[in-house]
Amino acid sequence: MSNWVLHLDMDSYFASIECQIRPQLLKKPMAVGGAGDSRGVICTANYLARSYGVHAGLSSREALKRCPHISLIPPNMKLYRFYTQKIFRLIKEWVTEYETLGLDEAYLIIPHFSANENIETLIQYAQEKQKAIYQDTGLWASIGIGPNKFLAKLASEWNKPRGIKVFHPQVHDLGEILAPLPLKYIPGIGTKTNQRFFDLGLRTIGDIQRVSFMTLNSITGQQRAYELKNLGLGIDHRKVQGQRPGLSLGHENTYLQDYSAHHTPQLIPDLYQSFLNRFHSKDHYKERGIAGLHLKIKFKDFKTHTLDCPLDSYLKEDMVNNRPLRENSFNRLLELFDNLYYKFNQPYRLLGMGIRFHQVKVSEDQLCLL
C-alpha cells in the first residue's frame, strides 16, 4: 500500500474546454450554463468571470446581472466526456488504483514512494503529471499530494489554478496549517451541521481541535465525532475506492415553463427515450440486474419529491430490449407520475426517471427474470 495519495482537479473544466475551441473567449469572462432568459444555472465559470462573483450553481439570470458582458455557452457533455476519456487514459498508464469523482476530478494511489520520500521528489512527480495532461489536452489541472484523501484534496485547492502542493507530515505541522481554515474544508460538513457548529462558536478547524469530544458527540454522534477529531489533525482513514459500477442510472428533463398533470402524457415519451439512450450506451449497464424504478418531480417551489417502487415486468422488458413504450408500460409510468404529482398538486418544472441495480452482475439471459 502506498503512503501517498494524489488528488487531481481540472481547473474550471467545462469553461477551459470551451476556450480551447473558442480561443476568442480566453481573455473574456465566460461561463458554461443555461441561457439567461431560462431557468438555466451556471455549471462552471472561468476565473475572470469568478472575479465578478459568478460561480457554479448561480442562476444564469443572476450571472448576467453581475457580469452583463459575460459569454454564456450551453453545455456540451459529449465534448467534455471526450476530454475526460483522454485524461483517464493517461491516469490508467500511471497507476492501477484510482477513484473518479465526476468528469474532472480523481484520487490516485501513487506507487513506489515511501513515507520518507523527499518532498521535492513528490513535487516533481506532480509537475510531470500536470505537464502530461496539458500536452495531451491543452488543459491545466491543479494537483495535491498528501498521506490521505483529505490532505491531498486540500492541497489541490491550495494554489488554484495550475497549482501544485504537497502536505508532508515529516515537513509540515499539519495541525497548525489546518487550524485557521474554515470548517467547509472538512469533508461531510453540510450546511445544517455547519450552522450548528457556528451557533456553538465553532468556526474553524482549530475550534474542532480544541473542543471537547463530548461536545462533538452531542452534535454528530460518537463515530462522526471521532472522525472530526482525526480530520482536525490531518488524519483520514478513508480509502481510495477504485472503480465500481454505480448502483443507479437515471435521466432528468428540466423545462422552460411550468407543467401540470395534464401535460405529463406528452412529456413521458421523450423522458423515457432519453433515459433509454443512456441505459444502452454502456454495455456494463445492460449486464446488471434491475432492482427497481426511481421517479422524481421538482415542483415550482423548487421542492423535490421522489418515488421508489418495483419495476413491472413489461416495463422492464421494454427497457432491456431497447424498444418504445408499449401501452401497458406507458400507462404504468403515467400512473406513477400522477400518484406523485397529486400528493402535492402544484406545477412542476422537472421530471426524472431512473433505475436501481442489483449489486451483483447477472447474465443477459437472466435480466427479464429478475
**Distance from C-alpha of 207 to C-alpha of 113, rounded to nearest angstrom:** 33
Q: Residue 300 corresponds to which cell in the numbers above?
A: 415550482
For residue 370, count other CB atoms closer than 10 A to its CB: 15
Strands (E), 135-260: 141-146, 164-166, 248-259
Instruction: Answer yes or no: 105 catalytic.
Output: yes
Exposure letters 274-289 (e unless 16+ CB within 10 A, then b): ebbeebeeeeebeebb
The answer to whether the beta carbons of residues 197 and 218 sit under 8 Å apart is no
Residue 9, beta-bridge partner list: 105, 142
DSSP 115-164: TT--HHHHHHHHHHHHHHHHHHHS--EEEEEESSHHHHHHHHHHT-SS-E
H or E element in which residue 292 lies: strand 288-299
End-to-end CA distance of the chain: 39
Alpha-helix runs per DSSP H in 237-301: 264-279, 283-286
Question: Which residue in 62, 97, 105, 252 is the catalytic one?
Answer: 105
* Contacts of residue 65, Cβ cutoff 8 Å, sequence gap at least 6: none
Secondary structure tally for the chain: helices H, strands E = 15, 12
Round to whole Å and give the CA distance between 90 and 141.
13
Residue count (the chain): 370
CA separation for the pair 70, 50 (Å, rounded): 11
- Cell numbers found for residue 182: 474554515
Q: How many CB atoms neighbour CB 190 within 10 A?
A: 8
Report the C-alpha gap between 20 and 23 in whole angstroms: 6
Q: Among all residues, which ones are annotated catalytic?
A: 105
